[in-house]
Amino acid sequence: MKRELIIAIDGPSGSGKSTLSRRLAAALDYTNIDTGAMYRSVGLAAHRAGIDTGDDRALNTLCAGLSIEFVRKDEEEQVWLNGEDVSEAIRTPEMSLMASRVSANAAVRKTMLGLQRALGERGGVILEGRDIGTVVFPRAEVKFFLKASARERGRRRCQELRDKGLDVSLEQTIEEVKQRDAADTNRLHAPLLQAEDAVVIDTTAMTIDQVLQQMIAVVAERRQRAGPVFTRKESGS
């Protein structure tokens, strides 16, 4: 059965995953599945419903009733939660921390894992997050792990928020990045890990275009190595 590649992009917050997954998907004509946005959406829904992030039963019930979709409109990628465009609402610092908390919950991860695998199993997809190459698709044909210094990632995040008109402190944003790193690395369920066979790219001193070209070259090499027919399908973690 012919299908295209599954590409996993992992790394900490602010390493460039979201931007590069969108750019790479556009270059390859692949579908981009932002798994971080999925957890942010769950975090937003939990926040709106007043659900404690440690309440497994309530979160499990919440997830069972959620609809999360990725829509491309006018060259922009949108995230829809239960029929509402929440693309901006899920990108606040508060929702970043909420995403880390709900993603540490086993009930949430189980539901999202099933959805992510269903969306990606046919190939021709790029999934980005923190455990794609280690948990969601451990046999993905291409795996990237992006990293950058905490200061640089905080600077990028701070600039992104300021560009949206938010009054944020650089030092506070850097501290929030470090807090997110600690939460993601030390959580019990599916912590942030670098897959042994991942291509590691340090984006600290690189432009987006430089990283993108390196990623495209890796994908081209893997495509040539794999040949025109791919029959491998994910069957579990």
d(CA 134, CA 111): 17
Per-residue pLDDT, 177? 93
Exposed/middle/buried for residue 203 (C-beta within 10 Å: 0-12, 13-18, 19+):
buried
Q: Where are the domains of the chain?
A: 6-220
3-state secondary structure 63-128: HHCCCEEEEEECCEEEEEECCEECCCHHHCHHHHHHHHHHHCCHHHHHHHHHHHHHHHCCCCEEEE
Taking CA 12 as the corner, what is the angle to CA 9 and CA 16, rounded to the nearest 5 degrees?
60
The counts of H helices and E strands in the chain are: 8, 8
Quick one: fold of 6-220?
A: Rossmann fold (3.40.50)
237 residues of the chain, pLDDT tens digit each: 457 899 999 999 889 998 999 999 999 989 888 888 999 999 999 999 999 998 989 999 999 899 998 877 777 788 999 999 999 999 998 998 899 899 888 889 889 999 889 888 889 999 998 889 999 999 999 999 999 999 999 999 999 899 989 999 999 999 999 998 998 888 777 788 899 999 999 999 999 999 999 999 999 999 888 765 444 444 443
DSSP, res 231: -
Question: Beta-carbon neighbour count of residue 220 at 10 Å?
Answer: 11
Per-residue pLDDT, 235? 41
Nearest to 130 by CA among 205, 187, 174: 187
Per-residue pLDDT, 192? 87
Per-residue pLDDT, 227? 66
